[in-house]
Amino acid sequence: MTVTLRDSLKTIENYKSVNPHYADLLDILADILVLREEYRKNMSESIFDVQESLLAQKMEGGLPLVDIAGKEYDLSRPKKYFQSLIAIAEKRMPQAGKEITDFINSDEFNWEKMIKSSFDCVDSDAKEESATEIVSSAVEDQDNFDLIDLFAEESLRPELEKVAEKYGAAVEKAGWSEGYCPICGKEPKIGEIRAGEDGRRYLFCNQCGFKWHFRRIKCPFCGNDEQHSLAYFAVEGEERHRVDVCNKCRRYIKIVELPKSSEELNLDVEDIATLHLDMIAYDEGYN
């Protein structure tokens, strides 16, 4: 069962009343979700083709289905979507929107290069440095940089979501066991644990919206499965949300605990509504 747009927008309003500090970002996310649905209604097939004859071989070899960094695609449609996303910032946050617009209209900004750099390799440190080199030196406000990053990621979301929906069942049957996404190769930021399924943990890809099962006692980033070096923390009163950490690689992932296996949440919304957990993790030396 998928989460409807109406349900997601209702959850956003609930979070805004609980934590007004996130109101601006949640409003932006609400606009993104509406725009994403409009985009999907107007698309038939994804621009990202998958060679079905190689699917089993790719899964066995730990290779995601879509190779954005290594293959040429016509990205004109996602780029147009990106421009529509920037308009959201101009409407919701005029001052930030102006700085972002000025930057992306300058000679310093190369949208396609930024997109491809985020898929260059599975090693997140290398990806982050590559993307940062392209934009962070020219954008002084970190919040504006984060918005550009959010919009760049979202610009491919509907296209990759289509791939995830088409091949998701085949990927599940293949028994994918890597900590990065089997559809696009991105690393997860958030996941969920379903108590109704014997505590199974699922990782979520913000880039394509795919969820896959991953061992609970294992770090998705370095593969560490030594229980004594894996831990988690939660904020008092917010035990539904927790942070799984690895003391070997010093990485972390946010987790939402679902008491019922039938419960569905929009993890894009949960990711924004738990940004304080990211800040706590950073302060504790995790990244």
pLDDT at 261: 65
- The CA distance from 182 to 34, in Å, is 26
pLDDT at 263: 80
Q: Name beta bridge partners: 241.
A: 256
pLDDT below 50 — which residues of the chain? Answer: 122-132, 134-138
DSSP 198-240: TTEEEEE-TTT--EEEE-SSS-TTT----GGGEEEE--TT-TT
Q: Is 9 exposed, middle or buried (0-12, 13-18, 19+ CB in 10 A)?
A: middle
Q: What pLDDT digit, counting tens, does each position of 170-205 carry?
A: 999 999 999 999 999 999 999 999 887 778 999 999
Supply the pTM of this predicted model: 0.92
Domain count, the chain: 1
Nearest CA-CA partner of 212 in 230, 231, 186: 186
In the numeric block, which tokens belong to residue 245? Answer: 């950490």
Q: Kind of pairing, strands 211-214 and 241-246?
A: unpaired
Task: Put residue 181 in one of left, alpha, beta given phi > 0 → left and psi -120 to 50 → alpha.
Answer: beta
Q: Which residue has the tokens 């394509």?
A: 208
CATH number at residue 38: 3.90.1670.10
pLDDT at 198: 79
pLDDT at 245: 98
Residues 6+ apart with CB under 8 A from 166: 46, 50
Domain that includes residue 166, residue range: 5-283
